[in-house]
Amino acid sequence: MENISYAICNQPAVAIRSEASHRSEMVSQLLFNETCSVIAEHGEWSRIVVTHDGYEGWVVTRQMKHIDQAVFEECEAKKKYFVNEAVVNHEGLYLTLGTPLFEPVHAQACPDVFNADVMIENAYKLLGTPYLWGGRTVMGIDCSGFVQICARMAGLVLPRDASQQVDCGEVVYFVQEAQPGDLAFFSNENGNIVHVGIVLADEKIIHASGKVRIDSLDNEGIFNADLRKHTHHLTAIKRLS
């Protein structure tokens, strides 16, 4: 395709894959009412750029509704509300926490400026959600998807991946100086950022690892009391604004 077209997700959640194949890994999800630009097509697949975070990947074309530029701009200009319960039935569709709507039904408006308390309030609603690589719903979520959904509901749009999110905010140098709502980032043995969580009070952290859970946080990293060991190596703490 030479010309960019636009689409809106009309299903509860649609898999975004790294390649145009059902066998390719799911790298993210497009939620109901989220819009995108369609930049290429290949058979039953469309390569999209998600409007709110710029994420690219492949989706099955029939799982979206194509819209013209005027409708796209109208959707983006509308005030957005976000589903504020784990799961709701909205016009026959089961939508999960953080799904954008254009009306305040089963949903809340996000603050005009980032509010850490709102982020934490919604993070608690996802406790126990199973981990799913690329997931952004209560049916399955990954660490950066979890943080992104909670931050967006609190008035701040973050990039999709932890390796991108670490570039946001101001540095906090010690765990003891961290405040609830700060983000903590963790690296692998190669020094790459591979995990992120939301700092809570009393040196705790809520994050998606196996499931959304609360663990202890210290200057070494995350200590999992169930496993009786540190599971993630702390690299940075950032304060959002």
Letter for the amino acid at 131?
Answer: Y
pLDDT score for 68:
95
Residue type at 102?
A: F
**61 Cβ contact list (under 8 Å, min separation 6):** 41, 44, 45, 46
231 pLDDT more than 60 = yes
pTM: 0.96
Mean pLDDT of the chain: 96
Tens digit of each residue's pLDDT (9 = 90 or more) over 23-81: 999 999 999 999 999 999 999 999 999 999 999 999 999 999 999 999 999 999 999 99
Q: Would you name the residues annotated as active-site residues?
A: 143, 195, 207
For residue range 120-158, list pLDDT tens digits in order. Answer: 999 999 999 999 999 999 999 999 999 999 999 999 999
Q: Output the 3-class SS for 218-231.
A: CCCEEEECCCCEEE
- Where do the structural domains in the chain lie, given as residue ranges? 5-77, 111-129+144-239
Decide if 60 contacts 31 (C-beta within 8 A). Answer: no
Q: What is the DSSP string of 16-78?
A: EESSSSTTSPEEEEEETT-EEEEEEEETTEEEEEETTT--EEEEEGGGEEEE-HHHHHHHHHS
Q: Does domain 111-129+144-239 bear CATH number 3.90.1720.10?
A: yes
Domain 5-77, classified CATH 2.30.30.40, yes or no: yes
